[in-house]
Amino acid sequence: MDNVRTIVAALSHIESLTITSSFGEPITHLVLHPPRLDCVLELELRAVPFESAAEAIHFVCAFPSLRILIFNSVTWRTSRAAIIPAARLPPKLTTLQLMSGCNDFLRWMLHLHESSPANLPPLSSLTLAGVSKVETDAIYTLITALAGSLRVLAIDFEARSATSEQLNTNSAIVMMNMGGPETVPETQDFLKNLFSDGDLIPLPFQRFLAPIIARRRTPQIEKQYTDIGGGSPILHYTQLQGEGMAKLLDELHPETAPHKAYVAFRYVRPLTEQTAKQMKADGVKRAIAFTQYPQYSCSTTGSSLNEMFRRGSAGDAGDGVQWSVIDRWGTHPGFIEAVAQNIEAALAKFPASTRKDAVLLFSAHSLPMSVVNRGDPYILEVSASVSAVMDRLGHSNPFRLVWQSQVGPSAWMGMQTGEALKGLARLGKKEVVLVPIAFTSDHIETLYELDLEYAEEARELGMEVHRAESLNESPVFIRALADIAAQHLRDCSAGCTNATCGQQKTWFARGGRSPMAHNITVVSSPGKVLISGGYLVLDSKYSGTVVSTSSRFYTVVRGNSSTGANHIRVRSPQFLDATWEYTASATGATVNVEDSPTNASKNKFVHLALQSTLVVASEISGIASVNEILAQGLDIAIVGDNDFYSQREKLASLNLPRTLASLHKIPPFTSTGVPLSKVHKTGLGSSAALITSLVSALLLHFASIPATSLSSPASPGRLLAHNLAQYVHCLAQGKVGSGFDVAAAVFGSHIYTRFNPAVLHGLMNDEALRTQALHPILAPTNQAWDYAIHPFKLPPLTRLMLADVDAGSDTPSLVGKVLKWRTENPEEALALWTSIDKLNTRLAQTLLDISKLHDSDKENYTVAVKYIASLQPIQWGFANPLHSDILPVISKFYEAHQVSQAIRVHMRDMGERSGVPIEPREQTQLLDACVSLAGIIGGGVPGAGGYDAIWLLVCDPVDAAPDIPPSERVESVWSEYKDLDVSPLSVVESLAGGARVEELDAIPGLKEVTALA
């Protein structure tokens, strides 16, 4: 410190001062704690590293007599404008040269001018170098303000090579939010923009009233921002989240890398218009509008997207930009996990004795009832987020969803957070956790309303209150953002599809080294429901429509030295006595996997998957590479979501009714309490999903396919995983089946046409694994794999519902009898199958056409779904709605209903002719009771039929009020049905597609159930 004092003393007589970073610690201390130096007339800063723009401005203001100020290569870590409202440029400054940091300094100078024109000194010379072109408007405003004094002006815009920028910003991820004033002086402009937005706050004479309301409210809001530290940190956190997401995206989805995050705020800088212009300057050609509101609302999400639409239509973002949108993600597992972890951290602050009594108050920004009543989905989506978080927490605490930030005298969604606190106090509740469920970053609603207003109210009521942190810098949340974006990008992947190139890229990704055992590999695959094409899908002349389910199988592969070298342990923790040990040896040109004699039972599916995949891995990467990983030992854990197995006994043990709500109360991956051989399956294709997840995880773990293979729907790695899983599944079953179940596990929902069974005939014996090369036959380059996968999805605002009906059917025996009838009655069978095929094709096309109607006119489509949700299907054909624009939608839904009913008639006919209970009488009665309900599109018995399950497609309007949702009508019928034992499944159509790589921490319950003992 003596050195610093010496320097300061010397400065008291110096008129010209140059500071560089090379002066070291004494000057660093001087920069951070500047004395007031009236003698210095000329100041040049060279390569001085400030923490922020605010810090640099604070330093400059310590030299009030400056005439000349030069910024040369000055840097700061965070781009935050001044936080010192009273700061002014030296009043006698005449020459200003900004050779770096122009954009932030310009913003500050504009704030000074907007506060008072007298705040700007009489500059006669202004030099700006490296300024962004998007600041053109700011420069014009500044020059106009200096018109009376400015004599010399030099501007050097940032040089931007289109080629290099396009390489550096291949994909733009635009982080969209309302924003908040970063400094107190920005408050009035923020409020003016906010009250001018008719999407958010519709006002009469809006352009006239908005500035008036903003001026009146500014003093109060400025005080609030002053109280939380001088501004909103939302820009800081959004930038941090975006940068972290972009880095992860480069790894998760390299096909569209590099990725760059942009921030586009609705009401404050960087405004959407400015961001659009920056993107144009950067040469962006692919962009995702990623709204940072987890739950969709027309007032927030809609407003941000509308503004980007206006800017894009005006050409502000440039021509030829390929846009796509992520507009809601309120139940994404990563988001839910991040919120849950922050709640758990807040709960940990309470004493253990009272922790479980703490009430979780989920607080979200309220909406006017006028907005809610017009059908805005926000309330339902926030409720869904809360439900998912409570499921993740295992309903450990009492909870309530409440609403905050009401403005004005009109009715808003309640109850309000403050009223809820008073109510809890009256009930004697003393511990509360405030949870900001709809805010991802701290801003005024969390830092002022929750932390200062509501927390203080709670303490005055004698309550102990803690707030769950906002997601801010949460690595789990940032990973969730990356996962959401990667999943969105997966269908737009670019790049080479040559298998050799894929292997070469994997090699370079490893830095030219042999693959080492990854710490952990997690892959999931969905179950299936064949809604049309039963039996016909066995013949390649016909197709079937298969829907993948939200219930998935997960395989977790770990390197584990405790198992011993060349030792593989496979565990299925949901069953009793379900651990299998294997010894693997890879010598010469052969790989062999042997059962341990200590195994209590054999698992043919797992054993063949291990054997086959290691053979393929050795053929691709070499024996030495496989041995390198096997030498560390492997632990493999495999679990399936609860819906793969009947939960009747579990519900009974918990004294819960058989309802969807009850199923959500069962912990994930719950134990079945029985050996694998005794479990009651529900017909979702558990063996196919298991094999696909296991095979895919092993291929990735052994680096036999590129790490990005499952990010693209048709990558060579995914195709190889499909062919290998089909082979293992067929070999384990002892026959070459149609393969639609494996295809669903690999690709997700689609219209499927089977492969020619001859491609596998030479491999359908155990000896082939030891004597024949597998990869040449299973490689996607083998043209004998002639299956067809056509995209399919269920229409928007519809929902798949499934029920486990009884103890299941023996599918092989059913299929055998039908095929025998077909062989013995070829003409009769051909005529019937041709008719069924035409109906199956028509059903798939009709459902796809319905989706197109949604895409072309979402508003009328939404109205139509709500309308027919209140009518029985028989009434749809005679519908006479007030708005004729919805008739085409109603007509298509009625067509889907009629076709699905006709398929049932023909399938029953085939069952009667072949003597097979494809749709047994009991099932017919149950289905008829369901399909006659209002809002039910159709249904049937999935796959080969029998007694094991039924499926229904029901309307799922955003808001069914005043009627009850069709799904509730179905549940009512199921719960009261006496002739069959009906238990619902919680599955819906999978929105995550087919096989995919997962993060262990992102799947609720997976880490715990698969943990090593």
Please state, for a pLDDT cut of 70, what percent of the chain lies above it: 88
Give the residue-averaged pLDDT of 539-544.
96
User: Which of 36-45, 120-129, 718-727 has the least mean pLDDT?
Assistant: 36-45
Strand, coil or helix: 81:
coil
Give the residue-averaged pLDDT of 378-382.
92
Does any domain span residue 553? yes
β-bridge mates for residue 864, sequence order = none
Give the residue-averaged pLDDT of 414-427.
93
Q: List the CATH number of the domain containing 849.
A: 3.30.70.890
What distance in Å separates the CA atoms of residue 17 and residue 31, rounded to the nearest whole number?
Answer: 13
Strand, coil or helix: 295:
coil
Contacts of residue 600, Cβ cutoff 8 Å, sequence gap at least 6: 577
Q: Do 548 and 560 meet the contact criterion of CB atoms below 8 Å apart?
A: no
Catalytic residues: 332, 483
Number of domains observed in the structure of the chain = 4
pLDDT of residue 342: 95
pLDDT of residue 197: 85
- Tens digit of each residue's pLDDT (9 = 90 or more) over 733-787: 999 999 999 999 999 999 999 999 999 988 998 777 777 889 999 999 899 999 9
pLDDT of residue 168: 46
Give the residue-averaged pLDDT of 80-101.
65
Q: List the CATH number of the domain containing 390.
A: 3.40.50.1400
User: Which of 42-56, 403-417, 505-519, 955-969 has the least mean pLDDT?
Assistant: 505-519
Q: Do 1006 and 556 meet the contact criterion of CB atoms below 8 Å apart?
A: yes
Is there a single domain that holds both residue 770 and residue 813? no
Q: Give one word for 915, left, alpha or beta, with left for phi > 0 and alpha for psi -120 to 50.
A: left
Is 135 a residue whose pLDDT tops 70? no
Last residue of a domain, one of 128, 159, 190: 159
Is there a single domain that holds both residue 776 and residue 701? yes
What distance in Å separates the CA atoms of residue 996 and residue 142, rounded to the nearest whole number?
Answer: 53
What distance in Å separates the CA atoms of residue 567 and residue 581, rounded to the nearest whole number?
Answer: 7
Does any domain span residue 320? no
Contacts of residue 211, Cβ cutoff 8 Å, sequence gap at least 6: 192, 195
- Which amino acid is residue 902, in one-letter code? A
Q: List the domain range (segments joined by +) for residue 621.
A: 515-642+666-791+994-1009
Contacts of residue 878, Cβ cutoff 8 Å, sequence gap at least 6: none
Last residue of a domain, one of 159, 184, 211: 159
Does any domain span residue 282? no
pLDDT of residue 811: 54
- Tens digit of each residue's pLDDT (9 = 90 or more) over 258-284: 899 999 999 999 999 999 988 888 888
Q: Do 796 and 499 meet the contact criterion of CB atoms below 8 Å apart?
A: no
Of the candidates 978, 968, 967, which has an alpha carbon nearest to the alpha carbon of residue 801? 967
Is there a single domain that holds both residue 342 and residue 447? yes
Is there a single domain that holds both residue 671 and residue 734? yes
Please state, rounded to an integer, the average pLDDT across all residues of the chain: 85
pLDDT of residue 286: 85
- Ramachandran angles phi, psi of 87, nearest 5°: -65, 140
Tokens of 965: 């949702």
In the chain, the N- to C-terminal Cα span, in Å, equals 56
Q: List the CATH number of the domain containing 26.
A: 3.80.10
Does any domain span residue 676? yes
Is there a single domain that holds both residue 464 and residue 556? no
What distance in Å separates the CA atoms of residue 320 and residue 976, rounded to the nearest whole number?
Answer: 57
pLDDT of residue 575: 95
Is 515 a residue whose pLDDT tops 50? no
Does any domain span residue 446? yes
Last residue of a domain, one of 159, 188, 210: 159
Does any domain span residue 262? no
CA distances from 658 to 260, 654, 931, 969 (A): 48, 11, 20, 14
Is there a single domain that holds both residue 747 and residue 877? no
Is 511 a residue whose pLDDT tops 50? no
What distance in Å separates the CA atoms of residue 890 and residue 451, rounded to the nearest whole number?
Answer: 50
- Tens digit of each residue's pLDDT (9 = 90 or more) over 5-39: 555 555 566 777 777 764 444 555 555 555 656 77
User: Which of 119-128, 428-437, 459-468 has the least mean pLDDT?
Assistant: 119-128
Strand, coil or helix: 997:
strand
Is 497 a residue whose pLDDT tops 50? no
Is there a single domain that holds both residue 520 and residue 606? yes
Burial class (CB in 10 A: 0-12, 13-18, 19+), 944: buried
Q: List the CATH number of the domain containing 776.
A: 3.30.230.10
Is there a single domain that holds both residue 43 and residue 76? yes
Is 496 a residue whose pLDDT tops 50? no
Q: Which secondary structure element, helix H or strand E, spans residue 103, and what is its range?
A: helix 102-115
What distance in Å separates the CA atoms of residue 869 and residue 966, rounded to the nearest whole number?
Answer: 6
Is there a single domain that holds both residue 809 and residue 869? yes
Give the residue-averaged pLDDT of 347-359.
94
More confident residue, 141 or 518: 141
pLDDT of residue 205: 81
- The three-state (H, E, C) secondary structure of 595-618, written as one string: ECCCCCCCCHHHHHHHHHHHHHHH
Is 929 a residue whose pLDDT tops 90? yes
Give the residue-averaged pLDDT of 932-944.
94
Dihedral Cα 767, 769, 773, 779, nearest 10 deg = 130
Is 80 a residue whose pLDDT tops 60? no
- Tens digit of each residue's pLDDT (9 = 90 or more) over 858-915: 999 999 999 999 999 999 988 777 778 899 999 999 999 999 999 999 999 999 999 9
Of the candidates 889, 837, 838, 827, which has an alpha carbon nearest to the alpha carbon of residue 864? 889
What distance in Å separates the CA atoms of residue 526 and residue 321, rounded to the nearest whole number?
Answer: 34
Does any domain span residue 945? yes
Q: Do 182 and 80 meet the contact criterion of CB atoms below 8 Å apart?
A: yes
pTM (two decimals): 0.55
Is there a single domain that holds both residue 740 and residue 806? no
What distance in Å separates the CA atoms of residue 513 and residue 10, rounded to the nearest whole number?
Answer: 59
Does any domain span residue 716? yes
Give the residue-averaged pLDDT of 970-983.
91
pLDDT of residue 169: 53
- Which amino acid is residue 45, in one-letter code? L
Is 245 a residue whose pLDDT tops 90? yes
Is there a single domain that holds both residue 464 and residue 530? no
Is there a single domain that holds both residue 394 and residue 542? no
Is 161 a residue whose pLDDT tops 50? no
pLDDT of residue 834: 96
